[in-house]
Structure formats: C-alpha cells, structure tokens
Amino acid sequence: MRASRAARDNELVRVLIVEDERKLAELIARGLREEGHAADIAVRGEDVVWMAEAAPFDVIVLDVMLPGLDGFTVCRRLREREVWTPVLMLTARDAVEDRVAGLDAGADDYLAKPFAFDELLARLRALTRRAPNERPTLLVVGELRLDPAARRVWCDGAELELSGKEFTLLELFLRNAGAVLSRDQLLDGAWDMSFERRSNVIDVYVRNLRTKVGRDTIETVRGVGYRLREPE
C-alpha cells in the first residue's frame, strides 16, 4: 500500500472539521487520516469553541453554512475567546463579499466548494506553517534536542529515527518538561477524539520512546500518567 506523504515526512497535523454535510465531513476526515493526520468532526457551530479549547488542534476547517451558529459567528467567537488556531473557511458561497466577511471574522484562508482534495491539503500545510502559536525554534531538555519545524530529534548528539506518533508524543513531553501528563492529555495531543480511550497505546509508545531516549528519561507517575524528567 502507498505510504502517505505525511506519514513519510512525520508531519502529523490535527484537524477539526466543522461541516454539517456528514458525508462530506467523513470524506475529508478519511482523506486526512489516510495522509497520516488526526481528524475530528463537529456538525454544529455551538460545539466548536469548547472543542477548540479542549484539544490542541493545528487547524480548523470551518463551513460557513451551519445549523445554529454560522461559520462567521463561530470564527468571531473563537477569536474573542483568544483561540488563535488557524481557520480555513470552506463553503459554496464564493462571492467576494462572503470571502471578505470570513476574513474579517478572523479566518485565515478561504476555499470554495467544490474543491480538489490536494488543494485542501496544500492550504492546510500553508496554514500550519504560519500558525501564530508561540513555538521555540528548538526544544532542549538535558541531552534531548528537538526541532519541530524540521521534524528532527537528537539525544546525546545522535539523531534518532522516530515514527510520526513517537515524535508527536516526545514533542508534547518536551513542551511540558517536568509536568505530569495524563494518558488522556497524551491521547488528545496525538490522536483524534474517536480513538478508543481504553486502549494501552500510550503505554506502548512510551515504552518504545524509552528505548530510544533512555529508560529513566520518561518516568511513570502511578495512577496519573507520565513525566519527562528535567535535568537536576
């Protein structure tokens, strides 16, 4: 089976798809997952703000024509709540005034239906590259160094080969060094919300990471989760 571009490049992106046409939403989500990304779906505008605040999405694909709150209102509310996740407006309304209204509401880009999936992917990549999140150029904790942009990581000066999920989890640990992260927090950071929460996948990936970064680097906090040790 063909390996996806994202899987080959370890470029996992977490996307929230807000689309009331369920079939279209599922098609977009399936395409993103086949590319190695994580995708969640919301069909109501009222659900978007709490979902965007609860999970670390990299980009939001937001339809304008939604039941209840429309996409323009949702986007304004996100910005009012200081949720700065990049927003790609997705709609059949392609008039200039509609595009202007979306951008004025706080959207970052606009894509009219029907669209080519490859163009959607390209726009998502562009949005995540210029995301306004405060992200240091290099994450360093002890002997670990991780470059989020280049998707590279080193331990004791030697570059490590990590899978996409391993890289994402290690980045979460480095960004929260010294803090205890629960299994739910780790799942939220690397998998979409549909993932089976009772799975032991986090324990498996942590075990794999320990073999690559050192057994004592990531410690277990019983009954809570895991923590990346900070150097004394």
CATH number for the domain including 198?
A: 1.10.10.10
Highest mean pLDDT among 90-99, 131-140, 151-160: 151-160
Query: Within this chain, do residues 143 and 125 fall inside the same structural domain, yes or no?
Result: no
Q: Amino acid identity of 22? A: R
Q: Is the pLDDT of residue 26 over 70?
A: yes
Query: Within this chain, do residues 119 and 152 fall inside the same structural domain, yes or no?
Result: no
The whole-number pLDDT of residue 131 equals: 54
Residue 76, domain member (yes or no): yes
With 0-12 CB in 10 A as exposed, 13-18 as middle and 19+ as buried, what is 130? exposed
With 0-12 CB in 10 A as exposed, 13-18 as middle and 19+ as buried, what is 151? middle
Mean pLDDT of 165-171: 86
The whole-number pLDDT of residue 152 equals: 87
Q: Is the pLDDT of residue 97 over 90?
A: no
Residue 204, domain member (yes or no): yes
Residue 134, domain member (yes or no): no
Highest mean pLDDT among 20-29, 53-62, 160-169: 20-29
